[in-house]
Amino acid sequence: GAVVSQHPSRVICKSGTSVKIECRSLDFQATTMFWYRQFPKQSLMLMATSNEGSKATYEQGVEKDKFLINHASLTLSTLTVTSAHPEDSSFYICSAAGVVGNNQPQHFGDGTRLSIL
Amino acid sequence: KNEVEQSPQNLTAQEGEFITINCSYSVGISALHWLQQHPGGGIVSLFMLSSGKKKHGRLIATINIQEKHSSLHITASHPRDSAVYICAVHPERDKLIFGTGTRLQVFP
């Protein structure tokens, strides 16, 4: 089946550091990639949707200057948490879809656990 | 009220038991996903349904569009089935809405 690789799997860093998370589709071209955030024992919350070659669409309440998303190619999207603070500690997970539109499966990465000290 | 409700929230079972997890939703949808999230956090897509029933190994998923309800069944459960099972729906717009998940523990 389709594989999405997310890297790194875990990050521990000091407050004020910027952290970049990569999401790659390994065997298909991902027209659309989604970035989610998950707090412990809660459901996934969509942060933003990125389409290759265009600006990401952010959900209400998500600061676009804080969470920079780049989808420069059909196989790679990156999420950069800028000047991270302890409240940004969370589990971040990406998914990728090959075709825009409903009834298309999303393939999820393994997630990145971010801990800000 | 959440647009996607799952029950039960937590479920424990003995190895070999038949397990059912339910999902009810309140919006019009074009498809429904069942996802499995392991303790490490990674998510695997189990099924995508728009009608009827699908089977894969020991897993069966059904959906009733009129009643806005779906079930995930696991036959002959095994400790390796222990995970969080998440129901997610595709409403008419192109964004998934997730349920809060059902935490399953299967004991040997």
Q: Which two tokens stand for residue A51?
A: 């389409």
Q: Which residue has the tokens 């407050």?
A: A15
Find out whether B59 and B36 touch, Cβ atoms under 8 Å: no
CB atoms B90 and A102 under 8 Å: yes
Q: How far is B75 from chain A (nearest CA, A)?
A: 23
Spatial distance between the Cα atoms of A20 and B99, rounded to a whole number of angstroms: 28
Q: Does A98 touch chain B (CB under 8 A)?
A: no
Contacts of B43 in chain A (CB under 8 A): 93, 95, 108, 110-111
DSSP H stretches of helix in A1-116: none
Q: Which residue has the tokens 């998510």?
A: B43
Q: How far is B84 from chain A (nearest CA, A)?
A: 10
> What confidence tens digit (pLDDT) does each residue in B36-82 have?
998 888 899 999 999 999 999 999 999 999 999 999 999 999 999 99
Q: How many CB atoms lie within 10 A of CB B72?
A: 25
Cα nearest neighbour of B37 on chain A = A110
Q: Which two tokens stand for residue A28?
A: 């298909």
> What confidence tens digit (pLDDT) does each residue in A50-95 have?
988 888 999 999 999 999 999 888 899 999 999 999 999 999 999 9
Which residues, in sequence order, are CB contacts of A80 under 8 Å at separation 6+?
A18, A19, A20, A21, A67, A68, A69, A70
